[in-house]
Amino acid sequence: MEFQISMKDLAKSHSQTLKICNELVQQFRIEPTTEVRIDFAECTFIYPDYALLLLCTIKYIESLGYNVKGKIYVSQSSVPVNYLAGMNFFENLQVKLPFQVDSANGDSSVTIQRYTKENQLEVLNSILKILRDKSSMNDNVYTGLDYCFNEILDNVLNHSEEKEGWVAAQYFEKINSIRLIVCDYGIGIHKSLNIKHNFDEEEAIFKCIEEGVTNGKGQGHGLYATSEFIKLNKGWLSVISGNKILNVSDKETVIKDIDNWQGTSIYIRINTNVEVDYTAFTSKNYDYKEKVFGDMFG
């Protein structure tokens, strides 16, 4: 049996990507010998976060013991194919393309990376360096991003009960914007918080950005700080877990139903040219900006 994935459909929205990813998981539960067909026909553009959600889903299916195999239909002239090749999408799928590709994204993107407890700091610093070097990011925005990104990476390893997470990012110079996503296929926010609490699923995903709410393995500050950063920056935060997505902006905080995501994904979009007061959400015990730039310049 075959499962067809049209990348032009997957690239429409996060909700559409999640729908396709959930259908893929359910297909393997029904028919473990399913062959996957990934087709790039008519796909003219794709964001890295959509591609990483698909990659993480395939890694999850493999973690369940299924052998994911099939074919990828690509064209050498396809911009998305070249772009995702430069992002190491195919390499992480362990797929070798039949032709050489030229990266269509230059040096403004962060390749899709797997991270663990052992290389978390290395991955964090490498990503921040690229985003710092390639964007005209305000120092206070950079300070906020450094703080929140570190917290998000920590959350995956501390709360998901998985030993790895996946991350990708892209800077878009024309609109002064960074898109960044961190994915895992762990136990999810509901189960994690209910180690200590008794929330239903909607309560759990709403409470996860509330200061001090934790499962006991942390201080309950990371997603709270990120949500405050996003509001001040007029950016966007999506917390995706289970059957819920929490969207946060400076205008509203809303929860919507989605097709199931097996772990947790944190997506942020920040404006590099909108200044923030980082002291509103970083540590009250010391100036985090001094620490960041002290570490940077010794």
CATH number at residue 295: 3.30.565.10
Q: Please tell me whether residues 246 and 191 are part of one structural domain.
A: yes
Regarding whether 77 and 178 lie in a shared domain, the answer is no
Q: At what angle do helices 139-159 and 222-233 cross, to 10 degrees?
A: 150
Do both 25 and 83 map to the same domain? yes
Together in a domain, 117 and 174: yes
The domain tally of the chain equals 2
Question: Does residue 124 share a domain with residue 91?
Answer: no
> What is the pTM for the complete model shown?
0.93
Same domain assignment for residues 90 and 49:
yes
Last residue of a domain, one of 106, 135, 170: 106
The pLDDT profile of the chain, 298 residues, written as one tens digit per residue, is: 999 999 999 999 999 999 999 999 999 999 999 999 999 999 999 999 999 999 999 999 999 999 999 999 999 999 999 999 989 999 999 999 988 876 555 556 688 999 998 898 899 998 998 888 888 888 999 999 999 999 899 887 777 777 899 999 999 989 999 999 999 999 999 999 999 899 999 999 999 999 988 876 666 689 999 999 999 999 999 999 999 999 999 999 999 999 999 999 999 999 999 999 999 999 777 788 888 887 765 5
Together in a domain, 53 and 78: yes
Tell me, yes or no, whether 257 and 274 share the same domain: yes
Is the same domain home to 238 and 144?
A: yes
Domain of 67, CATH number, reads 3.30.750
Q: At what angle do helices 288-297 and 139-159 cross, to 10 degrees?
A: 90
- Full domain range(s) for residue 171: 107-298
Spatial distance between the Cα atoms of 253 and 77, rounded to a whole number of angstroms: 41
User: Can you tell me the distance from the alpha carbon of 239 to that of 192, in angstroms, rounded to the nearest whole number?
Assistant: 14
